[in-house]
Structure formats: C-alpha cells, structure tokens
Structure 1
Amino acid sequence: MKRKLLFGERMLLGDGTEPFNAVIPFRLRGIFKEEDIQHALSQLQGKHPWLRALISHDEKNIPWFEVLEKHLPIPVRIVSRKGENDWQEESRREWQTLFHYGEQPLLRFIWIKGEAVSDMLFSFHHCLCDGGSAMAFLYEFLTILDNPAAEIGVENPILGIHDVVPADILTNRRQKLKAKVIGRVAATAIKCIPVGKKAVERQNDYLIHWKFDKEMSGELIAYCKSMEVTVNTFLCAAVLQAFRKVKGDASFNKVSCPVDIRRFASQIKEDHIFAFGLMIVVSANHKISFSENLRLMQESVERKTSKLNPYITMMVMESAHDALKNFTKLLKHGKSSNDCMFSNLGRIQIPHQYKDFTLETIFSPSVIGPLGNTTTMVTSTFNGEMDFSFVGSEGYLPYAEALAIRDEVIQTVKEQLDPISVL
C-alpha cells in the first residue's frame, strides 16, 4: 500500500533535514511491563497502515507513504523518572530529533519510567497526522494497555484527495477550473513576494506549561456560556490582549487558529491518520472593552469559519505542487505577520480510570518546526482541568516576554471571572 503525500504533508515533511515534530505527553499511575507497551503499539500499527509506513521518493523526487509487507515496530525509548517535569525535558529532546523516515516509522514512544507513576510521550512527525488523529490513537493505546485482547477495528485509510473530496466536486469542470486558477494566481503571487536571504535565527526553543484547576476551568466554561461565546474565542481575546500589553506596538494583533477539517468533511473520520488542516485569523479591537470585544470576535470567527471550504482548498493546494518550494521559502524567510498560533483541542474524551491504572493527566500537545514563527499555544481540557502548553523560540519571542504573556493571560482570565478579587 502506498500513496503520494498531499501538498500540506509535503510542506510539513520538508527535505528531511529539519524536524517538524509534535509531542503528546500523558501521566499514568500504575505498574507496566515493556512487553505490554510493545503489544499495544503493535496493535496500533495493525489498525493504522500509515503508522507502519516509511517515506520513499520516486524518480521525480516526489515523496510517497509506503507500507512494507514486513513492517518495522514503533521505536520505544525508556528513561528513568527523576521528577515531575522530566516530560518537558523529553518533549524538547523529541522536538530536535529527526525522523529517519526512510528507515523507521513516523512515530516514536518514550516511557519515563517511575515506580508508581510513569510519564509517557507519543512523538510523531507532523506530516503524519494532526492532534485530533493523535488523540484517537492515544485512546486506542490506553484501551489495549488496559485490556490486551480489546478490539479496536481496522482503519480504512485515506489514499488520496479522492477519498476526501466528493466525486461530484472533484470532477466538476467549473470547480476544477476555479481551483486551478486560484492555484496559479497564488503561485505567481508567492513568487513575487520579497523575502530575506536568511531565515530568522531561531535560537533556543522553550516550553511553558500551566493548568487551571477544576474550579477555575468550570468557571471559565460557565462564563463563556453566559456571554454566548466559545472558550476558544475567549482565550484568543486573552492571548491578543496579553501580547499587546507585553509587546506594545510590536504586536501584530493577529492569532492564527487551526480549524478541525472533520467539522466540514465527513469523509475524514475521528480515527483517520491525517494531517490536513484549515485556518482562520482572529484579531481584536483595542478601542473597546474586553467583554465588548468578545461578541465582535465571536461574530467574526463564525463568519470566517462559515466561509471555509475544505474541498476547494485541497483542490487548490493539489494543483500547486510546483509552487511548494517557493511557498516553503516564503514561510521560512518571510517576516512574521502574526503573534502566535493558538489551538484549542477542547475536551478530550478519554477515560480517566482504567482497570489496572489511572490516567492522571494529559498534557496539551506541543509542536515545533522550521516554517517561520514557532510561537504556539495549545490548550486542551481533560478530567475537568484546562491545560496549556506554550512553545516558542528566543529568536521570535524572548522567553522573558513569553513568561509575561502567560502571566497576562492568567490575570485576564481571573479578572473576567472574579473582577472584585483581583482589585
């Protein structure tokens, strides 16, 4: 089984010399055997073909996912657990570790082994899948770890654009022409945009982590319901305000927000291994109050989201493979135009209690790569607690400023939930 990488996957893959890795850490309380972990990982590969795929290049240097008859196991690395924050150190190590994708799968497993508590990490190349897919195979891994005989089914994998875009759209002359014209215009425009000769010096990468407890998380969700805005919009507003307070006129007043393609394309199932994403940009009006901003931003988010068309977007991108080199160069060498990427995975629907162990927490994923500004904030909610991972690089956002932005976000949330207590 094999398929060509789509445009977005090729962009994330790059030329193989720079990592673009995502990490999902989680904490388990219980006693585990390495053979049980290996078995669970093997079952994951049995269900998902692309978890046992390597990447090869054809005579035109086009990359393909290729599943060999005899697959290679997911590599497991075991380290001794010394403290509560070992997972952060291992996350940073995994960001920097290349996947030799012609020789090993695009997924690794790290076991930070303790006596009663273990931290575990899935590390994967971002071209393999997105956070939604990763949460699906995390759920399956825990299911099998708890019950080695559990049935998790077999994925019917996506083999190309034809498995995502309905045939009546994909073969429609008008839609094909529209996608081709947009693709050509975009490719020409990208060629004409001036970029620097050198990419920004990234310098040291960092990870800042924090949580809201159950009480504060519940209050935040209730507040958003009362204001008729989503948690995502509220947090975007808090992030934008924090960047403006810390960076002043040097802030861009723009946050990029990934939108799960599964909301629009029913062909992509929750457990599909797939990396394609949609994006909107959110901004604030600094001349009005925070609460007034929320409603305007919510209207803007809904308006922009309603205009997203995953099918045409994919068709446009697939018509522009010859522009990939210029597009990648623009992302690497062009000036940053947004403050950060903000991604909210929402409530993670994975059980907390298992027969032989407890899933104490899932830390929000982190991701970092070579395509421009690395500043990214990811949040998720597990077992009633909202969790944040804030990733950045000194060359784009100094660590001291990132800490100040974190503090401003927390302060903004507290002020909105209980304005009297922070006076």
Structure 2
Amino acid sequence: MNQPIKRRLLFGERMLLGDGTEPFNAVIPFRLRGTFKLADIQRALAQIQKKHPWLRALITHDEKNIPWFDVQETSISIPVRIIPRQHENQWQEESTKEWHTLFNYEKLPLIRFVWIKGEEVSDMLFAFHHCLCDGGSAMAFLDEFLKTLDNPSTDIGTENPILGIQDVVPAHILNSRKQQLKAKFIGRLAATAIRFIPVGKKAIDRQDDYLINWKVDEAVSQQLISYCKSNEVTVNTFLSAALLQAFRKVKGSAAFNKISCPVDIRRFATQIKNDHIFAFGLMIVVSSNEKMSFLENLRSMQSSVERKTSKLNPYITMMVMESGHDALNNFTKLLKNGKSSNDCMFSNLGRIQIPHEYKEFSVDTIFSPSVIGPLGNTTTMVVSTYRGKMDFSFVGSEGYLPYTEALAIRDEVMQIIKVQLEYIAVS
C-alpha cells in the first residue's frame, strides 16, 4: 500500500498535457546484451515506481476541470509490451509508434515500457508523457532501472517528490510581496499580448513524422570535444552553430536563423535534485551571424549564450507562469496555430553517466531520446554521448521540414564537423 499523494499540475505541465486528445510523448531507447525474464523486468519497474511516486500517478480532474497528479493507495504497474526482435532498426519503428500512442492517464500511469526481445540482444524503450518529466529525470530512472534489473537488492532510495511551486521557489522569494506583484504584472502583460497575436484558424498539417538517428565514432567525438575546449566554447554552442549553418545552406532564405535550446533548470534551482521527476524547462534562443567565419561566430555565440543563460531566473519564470493559468488556452492556441519562427529545438544531454558493464548483462548503447508533440514546429535534435560516442536523434514532420531536407541538414552538419576538425588538424 502507498500513501496517497496529490498535486495540481503546474502551468507548463498542463500545457504539455493538453486535453488528452493529442500525444506529447518522449521515448528513451537502449540496447542490452544478455538474457532477461519478464518477471525481473517487471520487478525492476516496480522498484523505480516505488521510489518515484509520480511514476505511479494517474491524472484526475477537479470540479474546475484542473488536472492533478494523483497517486492512489494501490498502484498500477507500468505496462509492458513485448515484441520479437527482428532487425537492428526496429527500435526506431517502435519509437514512432510510441510517439503516436495516447496515454490513457485516467486509468494507467504516464509511463510504459517496450521490450523488443531478442536471443542475446534486446532493445528496450521507456515511453513517457512529457508532462511527467524531462530527459534529465528520465536518465535518472533509466539508471535506477538498470541497477535494480541487475541486482534486485540495490537500494535506490526514495524520492521526496515536488509537491508544488513552494518546493522549488525559496519561501523568501515566493512570499515576497514585491516578487508576487512583479510576477503578476508580467503574467498579465503576457496574457494580454497573447490575446492579440494573430493566429491561423487551424494548426499546420504535420503530415508524417520521422526519426533519423546516427552516431559519431569515438575518435571524432573526442576530437570535437578537444576542439571546443581549445577554443573555449561548449560542444553545445558548436553544434548549434553547425545546425544553424546547415539550415541556412539547405533552406536558404526560408531558414529563420533561430534555434531554441533548453537549459537544465537544475543548474539554477538546486531544490530540484537530479532524480526528481520533474518537467519544467528554461529556454534560450541562439542565432548566428552569417558575415563572420565559423570560428568567429562560435566565440560570439558562446558569449551570447553565457549572457542569456546568466539572465535566466527560474523562480520568477515559474511565478509568472503560475499566475497565468487562465491564459493557458490562448497560449496553447498560439503555439499550435501561430507561424513557426524558429528552425528547430536543439538539446544536448551531454555525457550519459550510466555504467556499461553489469554483472548480469551489458549496455550496448543508449540512443538519444526523442520527443514530439502538438505544440508548433516539431523539428527537434537531441544529442547525447555514451561510451565515448555522440548519438544524434533528429525528429521532424513532413509538414514542417521535409524528410529529404532533414537528411541534407544531417549531412551538412557532419560535413561542417569534418571540415572544422580537418582545419584544426592542419593548423
């Protein structure tokens, strides 16, 4: 039996949840070498559910139709779907299937598991609703799942869940009259502005969604990291610059020269621990200057990224959003039906700190997560590095970025990396 726990969804979570008719799902695929029993997988899933209350939560609505995370006394297990493994890229087909499968969140948890079962190699996927958590949280429960799958007696601790804004925003800020007025003022201003922004009658027709995944070998990944270190820029900035240049080359004047990059809120709000199940993100937008050389651009973008990041204030941002629940529908409509103004969302999860060798099995690879939802331009690139190799997941929809253009952008990004690394090797 569990303690019943409830909490109202925050503004950002409600926006991601939507009205339940359109999925906003994320998928983390990984490949294991070893043989597994269903009972052991189910037990490991039960252990991570035991640690994290929100992995047991359903969604209920109160009399004002506001959604709540609702953990009941008897918890419902994470559903497991098993299919025989037929080929290497099956996980990509299953990922796209999972993107499009709604969560029946009034009856089942906001997370499910797919086992693509092979003789010696299995591919496995965690699929979860994006309102539940972000990629950072998901990597934490993936780590715990692997530990307990390997050794059921591993102690993974218990999460002290975030029960509302008061668990994130320090009391002296949350209760400050000045900060409250500021948040309300900005919130009202934004809500009013949103009402007057012209939006189309209906959303853009997304058409077919696709996933393009590729890896960069260890030697090139290492060279790229060294290149960035010696030029005092982050890999993130390098890849953003390469992506912007690739979009410009492929799309010409139709490119926006804008990429939105999520910034991990845990860097600023230390109350949110690495293993907290939480989905609140901060964003910055990066652009490049086409009059500069690649390297000049990198340095100028790096200082712009640092300037923008230093101005991020998760506490006031959250307070502003929490004051704007009544503007949620207008805001959602704007995101769905408004004209796209950026090329893509780019997220770099960095090095995945999950062991590779376990007693009972080994982790062959962890693929970069993918995520897709109904709020505007779906074009997203996620990068992560595991066992020294960079892995790219490029997600898009024909209606926003045709598949052939996405392939051309991928090739161009790889070409830019190659040229820059050759250039440094020569110089």
Shared fold per TM-score greater than 0.5:
yes
2:43 corresponds in structure 1 to 39
State how 1:260-339 maps to structure 2 within 5 Å. 260-339=264-343
2:93 corresponds in structure 1 to 89
Corresponding residue to 1:179 among 177, 183, 202: 183
**Could you tell me whether the CA contact under 8 Å between 2:263 and 2:284 is conserved in 1?**
yes
Which region of structure 1 is more displaced relative to structure 2, 85-94 or 412-421?
412-421
* 2:394 counterpart of 1:390: yes
**Could you tell me whether the CA contact under 8 Å between 2:227 and 2:424 is conserved in 1?**
no
RMSD between superposed Cα atoms in Å? 0.9
Amino acid at match of 2:278: F
Q: What runs of 5+ residues in structure 1 fail to find an aligned partner?
A: none
Looking at structure 2, the residues matched to 277 and 340 of structure 1 have their Cα atoms a distance apart, in angstroms, of 16
Looking at structure 2, the residues matched to 383 and 353 of structure 1 have their Cα atoms a distance apart, in angstroms, of 11
The Cα of 1:419 is off from its aligned counterpart by 3.3
Note the alpha carbon deviations across 1:2-40, whole angstroms, 9 max, x for none.
000000000000000000000000000001000000000
Looking at structure 1, the residues matched to 243 and 424 of structure 2 have their Cα atoms a distance apart, in angstroms, of 22
**What is the SS of the residue equivalent to 1:418?**
helix
Looking at structure 2, the residues matched to 313 and 75 of structure 1 have their Cα atoms a distance apart, in angstroms, of 35
Runs of 4+ in 1 over 3 A off after TM superposition: 419-422
* 2:219 counterpart of 1:215: yes
**Could you tell me whether the CA contact under 8 Å between 2:34 and 2:122 is conserved in 1?**
yes
State how 1:22-421 maps to structure 2 within 5 Å. 22-419=26-423
Looking at structure 1, the residues matched to 66 and 367 of structure 2 have their Cα atoms a distance apart, in angstroms, of 35
TM-score, scaled relative to structure 1: 0.99
The Cα of 1:198 is off from its aligned counterpart by 1.1
Q: How many residues align?
A: 422
Amino acid at match of 2:312: L
Looking at structure 2, the residues matched to 420 and 119 of structure 1 have their Cα atoms a distance apart, in angstroms, of 38
Q: What runs of 5+ residues in structure 2 fail to find an aligned partner?
A: none
Which region of structure 1 is more displaced relative to structure 2, 228-237 or 411-420?
411-420
Looking at structure 1, the residues matched to 122 and 373 of structure 2 have their Cα atoms a distance apart, in angstroms, of 27
* 2:28 counterpart of 1:15: no
Looking at structure 2, the residues matched to 226 and 202 of structure 1 have their Cα atoms a distance apart, in angstroms, of 41
**What is the SS of the residue equivalent to 2:136?**
helix
The Cα of 1:394 is off from its aligned counterpart by 0.1
The Cα of 1:268 is off from its aligned counterpart by 0.1
Amino acid at match of 1:180: K
Note the alpha carbon deviations across 1:288-320, whole angstroms, 9 max, x for none.
100110000000000000000000000000000
**What is the SS of the residue equivalent to 1:183?**
helix
Note the alpha carbon deviations across 1:101-126, whole angstroms, 9 max, x for none.
00000000000000000000000000
TM-score, scaled relative to structure 2: 0.98
**What is the SS of the residue equivalent to 2:13?**
helix
Looking at structure 1, the residues matched to 272 and 423 of structure 2 have their Cα atoms a distance apart, in angstroms, of 43
Looking at structure 2, the residues matched to 269 and 335 of structure 1 have their Cα atoms a distance apart, in angstroms, of 36
The Cα of 1:421 is off from its aligned counterpart by 9.2
**What is the SS of the residue equivalent to 1:361?**
strand
